[in-house]
Amino acid sequence: MKQTILNGILIDEQTELSVDELSQVCASSTEYIIELVEEGVLEPVADHAPSQWRFPASSLQRARTASRLQHDLEINLAGVALALDLLDEIETLEARLHRGERSDNH
């Protein structure tokens, strides 16, 4: 039986990442993270110079998904932004539907 060792970083919701940290964890360039901000895919916590940007932990998943969409489906950044917004909307609607189903059962 083949064993695989996985390494990971545990990040809580209060964690904020710098541009360099986010690019390192996403295995992308700082320039790519800046492009994601310019396209509206990511939003830094405060509007400072890029070297001072801080991102909420949720940006990590969003940046990784953006990278996969671009790489796997060859979608441009504008398309990535739209796709992520639609995925967020689906998630919100599914959560509302789930809450509605639970309240109907009580």
- How many folded domains does the chain comprise? 1
Question: How far apart are alpha carbons 67 and 41 in whole angstroms?
Answer: 11
pTM of the model as a whole: 0.75
Residue range(s) defining the domain that contains residue 95: 16-104
Judge whether residue 5 has pLDDT over 70: no
User: 4-8, 13-17, 82-86, 101-105: which has the highest mean pLDDT?
Assistant: 82-86
Stretch 62-84: mean pLDDT: 93
**CATH code: domain of residue 50:** 1.10.1660.10
Judge whether residue 2 has pLDDT over 60: yes
Nearest to 69 by CA among 87, 89, 55, 51: 87
Instruction: Answer yes or no: are the C-beta atoms of 81 and 41 closer than 8 Å.
Output: yes
Tell me the angle at which helices 58-73 and 77-104 cross, rounded to the nearest 10 degrees.
120
For position 8, what pLDDT does the model report?
A: 52
pLDDT digits (tens, 9 = 90+) for 16-69: 889 999 999 888 999 999 999 999 999 998 778 888 899 998 899 999 999 999
6 in a structural domain: no
